[in-house]
Amino acid sequence: MKKTGYFLAVFALVCVMTAGIDRAWAYFSTYAEASGGISLRLGDETEIEEKFSSWVKHVTISNKEGSEPVYIRAKAFSGSSYTLEYSGEGWEPGEDGYYYYKDSVPGGGSAKELSVRIGNVPEEELKDGLTFNVIVIYESTPVLYREDGTPYADWNAVLDSGSSSSEDGMQKEGE
């Protein structure tokens, strides 16, 4: 008789515990499924245009139509024989050697021209039709906003980068 009492008590306990198992099982086994899709564009595009005259590279960087606003920075390299002098409205030097355009550039817009003058060229080399290579690199990053609405640039999140020099990689005065 004692065995039957224990058996009934265990059976009653199991019945009570499993009475809500269907709801508990439903809770732990639910899942969601979605269908459809949306196109994502994972980057905006900027492009560089260069013109060369009178020992100055005239650089313009544009943000393509439909792109989000970006900040832009640029830097030129020429080898150790020549110095580079930067100038341009809205361009400011940074501590890292880049020149930063102070305003954001909207989609379809362009930064004002950055001029890079090639200096320290000996007079005798100027007469010989000196050939040299100056490469300009640039990067863009999206405009981000602080909680108070102030825009800023995060250069750890570069969207687009590139470089440019003349078609054959060399530049010659007068070409």
Query: DSSP string of 22-86?
Result: HHHHHHHH----------------EEEEEEEETTEEEEEEEE-TTPPPEEEEEEEE--TTSEEEE
Separation CA 117–CA 60 (nearest Å): 14
pTM of the model: 0.66
The residues with which 116 forms a beta bridge, in sequence order, are 57, 86
CATH T-level assignment (fold) for domain 46-172? Immunoglobulin-like (2.60.40)
> What Rg value do the Cα atoms of the chain yield, rounded?
32
* pLDDT one digit per residue (tens) for the chain, 175 residues: 677 877 788 887 777 777 766 766 666 666 556 566 655 555 568 888 999 888 889 999 999 988 899 999 999 988 777 789 999 999 999 999 999 999 999 999 999 999 999 887 666 666 566 666 788 999 999 999 999 999 999 998 887 676 554 433 344 444 4
